[in-house]
């Protein structure tokens, strides 16, 4: 006798807390539910001067995060990423000017639709200060608003926010590299002689870009990464020499917190920062050296001025 077919059990979706407003009567409804870490996708920002290892670090962390997964890289740096094709397996799409935010959004959505596990944007700075980026869009709009720059930002800001929404809202890991403002400072070497070294400061992006990422790494010329901002407590105030497998392991464990294992038990923190070599006081030391020597190159005196980074004229960043 044929066994009766069992009706599959329907899994009731978990309620999600929300604040909503009725379109009919304007009534606002607020629903709170227990907080659960449901977002399993990493948003990682990596900034630094040229030669600091941003692209290599992004590729290495991506591969460690998804050992058997697919990686897509959006290359705005004239194809520089393909120099690492013998070290990492990834697919690349080269983007040429104009660097309109719409092109970045289209590339992110295409990577998601094509089933990639990680997308790397190398670099996000072009969407801001590159040819055809947000700053140039605002420049051109200013002429239509009788040189009213504040009004011109009504065209630039929405595009910038849409791009950030695509980065933070797409269901896959996203890693963004960013160029950083550069200063040259004099430090004393082991023989007591002054030697110039290049250090990176703020990313070439709109102020507050770090709010959009789970983790922000600031790279230096020695391929050392200072964790500038993090939502992962294991990484708080840490410094990593040549960040790689161990850093990716910390991130993977953090992303899996609260996610059931095969035995039904929740994952718990399992590793410590093995490559961590210090804390964020390194940044304080660098800033102290800069303040003492006041030797700088390629950086603007005005804190809101965008430096000459992408072959364009110097720009003034508006809030």
Is CATH 1.20.120 the classification given to domain 38-181+209-278?
no
Instruction: Tell me what percent of the residues of the chain surpass a pLDDT of 70.
Output: 70
Residue 202, Cα to own-chain centre: how many angstroms?
13
Q: What's the mean pLDDT in 170-187?
A: 83
Q: What number of other Cβ atoms are within 10 A of residue 247's Cβ?
A: 27
- Across the chain, mean pLDDT equals 79
Distance between start and end Cα atoms, the chain: 75
248: left (phi over 0), alpha (psi -120 to 50) or beta: alpha
pLDDT value of position 39: 64
Checking if the pLDDT of 282 tops 60, the result is no
Query: Is the pLDDT at 109 greater than 90, yes or no?
Result: yes
Position 194 scores a pLDDT of 75
Binned at pLDDT 50, 70 and 90, residue 20 comes out as: confident
pTM: 0.72
Residue 29 pLDDT class (50, 70, 90 cuts)? confident
Overall average pLDDT of the 63-80 stretch = 95
**How many whole angstroms from its chain centre is CA 251?**
14
CA pair distance 228, 210, nearest whole angstrom: 9
């Amino acid at each position: 006798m044929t066994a009766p077919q069992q009706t599959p059990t329907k899994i009731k979706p978990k309620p999600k807390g929300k604040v909503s407003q009725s379109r009919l009567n304007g009534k606002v409804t607020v629903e709170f539910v227990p907080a659960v870490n449901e977002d399993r996708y990493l948003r990682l920002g990596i900034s630094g001067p040229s030669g600091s290892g941003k692209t290599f670090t992004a590729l290495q962390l991506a591969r460690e995060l998804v050992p058997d997964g697919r990686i897509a890289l959006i290359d705005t740096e004239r194809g520089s990423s393909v120099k690492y094709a013998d070290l990492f397996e990834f697919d690349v799409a080269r983007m040429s000017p104009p660097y309109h935010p719409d092109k970045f959004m289209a590339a992110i959505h295409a990577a998601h639709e094509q089933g990639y596990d990680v997308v790397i944007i190398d670099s996000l700075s072009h969407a801001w200060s590159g040819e055809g980026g947000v700053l140039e869009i605002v420049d051109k709009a200013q002429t239509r608003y009788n040189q009213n720059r504040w009004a011109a930002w009504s065209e630039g800001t929405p595009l910038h926010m849409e791009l950030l929404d695509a980065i933070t809202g797409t269901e896959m890991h996203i890693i963004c590299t960013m160029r950083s403002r550069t200063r040259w400072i004099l430090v004393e070497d082991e023989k007591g002689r002054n030697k110039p070294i290049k250090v990176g400061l703020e990313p070439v992006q709109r102020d507050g870009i770090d709010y959009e990422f789970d983790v922000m790494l600031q790279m230096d010329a020695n391929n050392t990464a200072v964790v500038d901002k993090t939502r992962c407590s294991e990484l708080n105030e840490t410094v990593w020499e040549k960040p790689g497998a161990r850093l990716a392991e910390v991130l993977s464990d953090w992303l899996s917190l609260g996610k059931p294992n095969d035995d039904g038990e929740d994952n718990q923190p399992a590793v410590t920062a093995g490559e961590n070599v210090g804390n964020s006081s390194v940044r304080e030391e660098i800033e102290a050296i800069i303040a003492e020597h006041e030797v700088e190159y390629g950086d603007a005196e005005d804190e809101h001025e965008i430096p000459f980074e992408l072959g364009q004229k110097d720009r003034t960043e508006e809030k």
